[in-house]
Amino acid sequence: NAGVTQTPKFRVLKTGQSMTLLCAQDMNHEYMYWYRQDPGMGLRLIHYSVGEGTTAKGEVPDGYNVSRLKKQNFLLGLESAAPSQTSVYFCASSSDNRGSYNSPLHFGNGTRLTVT
């Protein structure tokens, strides 16, 4: 049982380049999330999805786009990378239990992105 898998694990980009981070989960979870983790700032929500075909903005969405074409995948795109987007990116998923919106997040192992 793989859980939440993120690819790639590491990436170095030059300013202005584009890339896509892939998140895949095999737990049939409805909710998926992209966070960025920066020193002293904790985790901040970039975008999230409450189901296949849906996306919504989180706390820091600027400069990122997402797509959820398939339930198991949640893609995070950077169209024109900037040094301020140097960070560790975590994907997470959770189940949609109508009895509780409160199922814990299952996190991937993260992608370390450096933009020079």
Partner 1 sequence: AQSVSQHNHHVILSEAASLELGCNYSYGGTVNLFWYVQYPGQHLQLLLKYFSGDPLVKGIKGFEAEFIKSKFSFNLRKPSVQWSDTAEYFCAVNSNFGNEKLTFGTGTRLTIIP
* Contacting residues toward partner 1, per CB under 8 A: 31, 33, 35, 40-45, 48, 50, 58, 90, 92, 94, 100-102, 104-105, 107-110
Q: How far is the CB of 86 from partner 1 (least distance, A)?
A: 18
Q: How far is the CB of 53 from partner 1 (least distance, A)?
A: 17
Nearer to partner 1, 14 or 99 (CB): 99
CB count within 10 Å of CB 66 equals 23
Contact of 66 with 89, CB cutoff 8 Å: no
| Distance of alpha carbon 16 from alpha carbon 18, whole angstroms | 7
Nearer to partner 1, 19 or 43 (CB): 43
Contact of 36 with 60, CB cutoff 8 Å: yes
